[in-house]
Every structure is written in structure tokens, then in C-alpha cells.
């Protein structure tokens, strides 16, 4: 049954995952090209100078990509469940409902993790070519918040898709907007170092929103 659920999720998301992979790859390639051209025309020492003296980590062009990928994956995966009333059928399968939902969004989180890890690895390797470890760590720790925004978007948008009433949908959307605002509040490198573990915990706790929406769906609440 587990394999069947995963296969169902794969069928729903495979084209989107391919598109997301291509978009992330294109973004990463563009970033790499941009870096190499800057080095070619201005020298790597200019980039070092910018990294050390300015409030930038050079990758700002990519900062909203994980957010978009996370949010859209949730739409692709969960919107058909409610729009075509499949969720009612899914929840009536002879399988524990909680586990079913955990499998579904666990699949999504795993897919996002693979995509994000791939991009972060390629970026780290590329950056390591130009910069010392200390600067690369600084860049990637700063970028960790952007990836966290991707997970947050996935979880909150999934909850919005599964939520049966518009009133609660608006509440969850408002919370997501505030969370995204918080995650992109500062452009100062490493400014989230202290709060990052708490934000990770908060985003992980956000998974209860998915179960909350499903429970309300099961109760038959609707507009």
C-alpha cells in the first residue's frame, strides 16, 4: 500500500518535479555563469571584496526560487485532491488516515529535500572554486533561510489546499504571508543564525495545519 501511495504521488507530481528541477538547474547555471563572467571581467578579488564588505551573498537572484517551488509543489500535489473530491475517496481507503496523509506530504517534503540538496550541493561546489570555506559557509547558511521558506510554503499551501472552508483558508494564508515576510525580513548575511533553529521548529510544527485541515474536511465542514 505504501508503494501504491507513493506511486500515486509520483504520477501527480512527476512533470512538475521535472520542471522544478529544470528551473532550479537553470537558476543555478545562471548564477554560476554570472559568477564566472564577473570573475573574468573584474577578477575574483572584487567578489571577495563585495562579500566581505557589503551586505550580500551574491546569490540573491535565487532567493525566491525555493519558495515558489515549495508552494507550487503543494498546489500540484494537493489541489487535485480537493478540487476533484479525491480526498474523500483517499480517506476511505483501508489504510490509517493519519499515516496516509503523512505519506503524502512526506513524499512532498522528501522531493523538495532532494531538489534543494541537489541545488545547494552544486552551488557549494561552484562557490568553493572561487572562495574560502568560511565565505562559502557564510553564503550557504544565509541561503538556508530561503530553503526553509520553500518548506514553509509547501506545508502551508498544502494546508490551504486541504482546508474545506474559505474562512480558515484565509487565516492560514495570512499566517503564511507573515511567515514568508519574516523569512525575508533581512538581507544581512547570517542575520538569522540565532533564530534559525526556532524557525525550523516552527515550520515543522506547521505540519499540524495539514492534519487540522484534514480533520475539518472529515467533519464535513464546507462553505
For other proteins, which is the closer residue by CB, 34 or 98? 98
Number of residues in contact with other proteins under rule CB under 8 A? 43
Q: Is 98 in the site for other proteins (CB under 8 A)?
A: yes
Q: Is 96 in the site for other proteins (CB under 8 A)?
A: no
Three-class DSSP labels, the chain: CHHHHHHHHHHHHHHHHHHHHHHHHHHHHHHHHHHHHHHHHHCHHHHHHHHHHCCCCCCHHHCCHHHHHHHHHHHHHHHHHHHCCHHHHHHCCCCCHHHHHHHHHHHHHHHHHHHHHHHHHHHHHHHHHHCCHHHHHHHHHHHHHHHHHHHHHHHHHHHHHHCCCHHHHHHHHHHHHHHHHHHCCCCCCCCCCCCHHHHHHHHHHCHHHHHHHHHHHHCCCCC
Encoded one letter per residue, x for contact with other proteins by CB under 8 A and - for no contact, window 116-145 reads -------------xxxx-xx--x-------
For other proteins, which is the closer residue by CB, 14 or 129? 129
Q: Is 95 in the site for other proteins (CB under 8 A)?
A: no
Reading the block at residue 13, the C-alpha cell is 507530481
- Asked whether the beta carbons of 218 and 91 are under 8 A apart, the reply is yes
Closest distance of CB 222 from other proteins, Å? 16
Q: Is 113 in the site for other proteins (CB under 8 A)?
A: no
Encoded one letter per residue, x for contact with other proteins by CB under 8 A and - for no contact, window 31-70 reads ------------xxxx-xx-xxx-x---------------
Q: Is 171 in the site for other proteins (CB under 8 A)?
A: yes
One of 23, 100, 190, 204 touching other proteins (CB under 8 A): 190
Residues forming contacts to other proteins in the complex (CB under 8 A) are 43-46, 48-49, 51-53, 55, 98, 129-132, 134-135, 138, 171-172, 174-175, 178, 182, 185-186, 188-195, 205-206, 208-209, 211-213, 215-216
Amino acid at each position: 500500500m505504501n508503494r501504491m501511495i507513493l506511486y500515486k504521488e509520483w504520477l501527480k507530481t512527476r512533470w512538475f518535479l521535472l520542471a522544478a528541477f529544470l528551473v532550479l538547474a537553470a537558476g543555478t547555471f545562471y548564477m554560476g555563469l554570472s559568477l564566472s563572467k564577473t570573475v573574468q571581467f573584474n577578477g575574483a578579488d572584487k567578489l571577495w571584496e563585495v562579500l566581505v564588505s557589503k551586505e550580500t551573498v551574491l546569490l540573491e537572484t535565487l532567493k525566491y526560487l525555493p519558495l515558489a517551488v515549495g508552494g507550487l509543489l503543494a498546489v500540484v500535489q494537493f489541489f487535485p485532491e480537493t478540487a476533484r473530491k479525491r480526498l474523500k475517496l483517499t480517506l476511505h481507503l483501508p489504510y490509517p488516515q493519519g499515516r496516509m496523509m503523512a505519506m503524502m506530504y512526506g513524499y512532498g517534503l522528501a522531493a523538495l529535500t532532494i531538489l534543494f540538496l541537489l541545488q545547494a550541493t552544486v552551488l557549494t561546489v561552484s562557490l568553493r572554486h572561487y572562495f574560502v570555506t568560511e565565505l562559502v559557509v557564510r553564503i550557504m547558511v544565509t541561503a538556508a533561510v530561503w530553503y526553509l521558506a520553500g518548506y514553509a510554503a509547501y506545508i502551508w499551501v498544502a494546508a490551504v489546499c486541504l482546508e474545506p472552508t474559505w474562512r480558515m483558508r484565509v487565516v492560514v494564508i495570512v499566517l503564511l504571508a507573515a511567515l514568508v515576510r519574516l523569512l525575508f525580513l533581512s538581507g544581512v548575511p547570517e542575520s538569522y543564525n540565532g533564530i534559525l533553529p526556532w524557525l525550523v521548529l516552527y515550520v515543522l510544527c506547521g505540519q499540524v495545519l495539514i492534519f487540522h485541515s484534514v480533520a475539518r474536511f472529515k467533519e464535513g465542514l464546507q462553505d
